[in-house]
């Protein structure tokens, strides 16, 4: 039987904590009673520098409820890093960790299914939103357009999945080897390579409190979701350079013909030729410099180059 830790990031969530603690405790009790998880399983709330009474409430819950643990970050670092802090702390004490937003908009019933998949041998189980009807129209459509853009750039993503997922200890160990600061968990986890599967997640309205994400924050997250994974925009610059070079060759022919036929005003031919040629040289040079910067960027990330899934050996 595995020991489960449920990690939940909280930023100004005082309105919902009591409800969340009640629901998660009930869930743990049910799973323990049905012998799915060890009785030492628990919840780990991560306070992400809240400015309201969130941390005091977590302290109180911890006092009166043995299922509730808390982790208080020194300041607000954003939900991705708060989840990471929780996962890395839970990794030391858990066999399997589920991360879920504190507002419990996700489907709690899916957690039991996630455990079942884990017991079948999956290291990562993604909660995939069945329907996003609870999300406002603009948020839903922009999110979906963004997933498509990422896919078209070769970034592997799980469609309609946010931060509701199960990870085994082995997967968390692999995740701990990604030291990057611009953390975008949804992009990194598919890169780990361990067996993964999905379960359905039916999203509900927030029961209390408000969304902590505004469009400005979402836009930053979206930019990270692209620039943290691919140097493809640099290749586009190179492509543009070659395109302009092609045009400059066509231009050369056109300009020469006009020149010979005496159709051009004096000065036009040399101007046209140098304009396109210099333009294409500038873009190409930028692309070359960009290729080097792209390499530096990939090295600086210091990501692990592989993860080991199994190692058969006779002697230690
Ligand atoms: N959150 C956090 N730090 C932040 C912003 C949000 O830890 O700076 C947490 C928040 O408490 C919640 C989760 O991240 O548990 C998702 O936030 P929210 O529900 O507001 O986002 P939405 O579901 O509306 O996208
Ligand atoms: Mg939410």
Query: For the chain, what are the domain ranges?
Result: 4-212+304-312, 232-301
pLDDT in the model for residue 6: 98
- Give which of 126, 101, 121, 122 is closest to 200, Cα–Cα: 126
pLDDT in the model for residue 78: 92
Calculate how far, in angstroms, residue 103's C-alpha sits from the geometric centre of ligand 2.
6
- Rounded Cα distance, 174 and 165, in Å: 16
Q: Is the CB of 211 under 6 A from ligand 1?
A: yes
pLDDT in the model for residue 156: 85
Calculate how far, in angstroms, residue 105's C-alpha sits from the geometric centre of ligand 2.
6
pLDDT in the model for residue 215: 83
| Burial (0-12, 13-18, 19+ Cβ within 10 Å), 155 | buried
Q: Is the CB of 197 under 6 A from ligand 1?
A: no
- Rounded Cα distance, 172 and 221, in Å: 22
Encode the chain (316 residues) as per-residue pLDDT tens digits.
Answer: 999 999 999 999 999 999 999 999 999 999 999 999 999 999 999 999 999 999 999 999 999 999 999 999 999 999 999 999 999 999 999 999 999 999 999 999 999 999 999 999 999 999 998 877 767 788 888 888 888 888 888 888 888 888 999 999 999 999 999 999 888 899 999 999 999 999 999 888 888 788 877 788 888 888 888 888 888 889 999 999 999 999 999 999 998 898 888 887 888 888 888 999 999 999 999 999 999 999 999 999 999 999 998 899 998 7
For residues 201 and 112, is the Cβ–Cβ distance under 8 A?
no
Q: What is the DSSP string of 24-73?
A: HHHHHHHHHHTTSS-TT-EEEEEE-S-SSSHHHHHHHHHHH-TTEEEEE-
pLDDT in the model for residue 279: 93
Distance of CA 98 to the CA centre of its chain: 16
Substitution site in 212, 214, 217, 218 for ligand 1 pocket (most atoms within 8 Å of beta carbon)? 212
Residues with CB under 5 A from ligand 2 (ion): 101, 103, 105
From the CB of residue 296, how many other CB atoms can be counted at a distance below 10 Å?
10
pLDDT in the model for residue 188: 93
Strand-pairing partners, residue 46, are: 9, 71
Q: Is the CB of 79 under 6 A from ligand 1?
A: yes
Please provide the size of the chain in residues. Answer: 316
pLDDT in the model for residue 312: 92
- Rounded Cα distance, 68 and 77, in Å: 22
**Topology given in CATH for the domain delimited by 4-212+304-312:** Spore Coat Polysaccharide Biosynthesis Protein SpsA; Chain A (3.90.550)
Distance of CA 46 to the CA centre of its chain: 18
From the CB of residue 228, how many other CB atoms can be counted at a distance below 10 Å?
17
For residues 31 and 67, is the Cβ–Cβ distance under 8 A?
no
Q: Is the CB of 80 under 6 A from ligand 1?
A: no
The dihedral of CA 286, 290, 291, 292: what is its sign?
A: positive
Substitution site in 47, 54, 58, 79 for ligand 1 pocket (most atoms within 8 Å of beta carbon)? 79
pLDDT in the model for residue 108: 93
């Amino acid at each position: 039987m595995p020991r489960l830790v449920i990690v939940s990031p909280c930023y100004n969530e005082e309105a919902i904590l009591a409800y969340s603690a009640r629901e998660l405790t009930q869930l743990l009790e049910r799973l323990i009673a049905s012998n799915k998880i060890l009785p030492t399983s628990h919840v780990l709330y991560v306070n992400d520098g809240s400015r309201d009474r969130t941390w005091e409430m977590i302290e109180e819950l911890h006092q009166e409820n043995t299922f509730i643990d808390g982790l208080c970050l020194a300041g607000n670092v954003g939900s991705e890093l708060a989840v990471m802090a929780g996962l890395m702390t839970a990794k030391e004490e858990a066999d399997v960790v589920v991360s879920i937003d504190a507002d419990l908009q996700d489907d709690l019933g899916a957690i039991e299914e996630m455990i079942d998949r884990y017991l079948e041998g999956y290291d990562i189980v993604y909660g995939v939103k069945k329907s996003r009807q609870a999300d406002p129209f603009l948020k839903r459509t922009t999110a979906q357009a963004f997933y498509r853009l990422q896919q078209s750039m070769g970034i592997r993503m799980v469609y309609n999945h946010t931060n509701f997922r199960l990870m085994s200890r082995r997967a968390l160990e692999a995740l701990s080897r990604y030291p990057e600061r611009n953390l975008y968990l949804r992009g990194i986890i598919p890169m780990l390579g361990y067996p993964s599967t999905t379960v359905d997640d039916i999203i509900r309205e927030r029961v209390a409190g408000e969304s902590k994400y505004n469009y400005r924050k979402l836009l930053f997250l979206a930019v990270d979701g692209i620039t943290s994974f691919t140097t493809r925009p640099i290749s586009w610059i190179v492509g543009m350079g070659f395109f302009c070079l092609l045009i400059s060759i066509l231009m050369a022919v056109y300009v020469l013909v006009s020149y010979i036929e005496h159709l051009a005003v004096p000065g036009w031919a040399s101007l046209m030729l140098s304009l396109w040629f210099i333009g294409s040289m500038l873009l190409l040079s930028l692309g070359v410099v960009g290729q080097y910067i792209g390499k530096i960027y990939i090295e600086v990330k210091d990501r692990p180059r592989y993860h080991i899934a199994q190692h058969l050996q006779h002697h230690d």
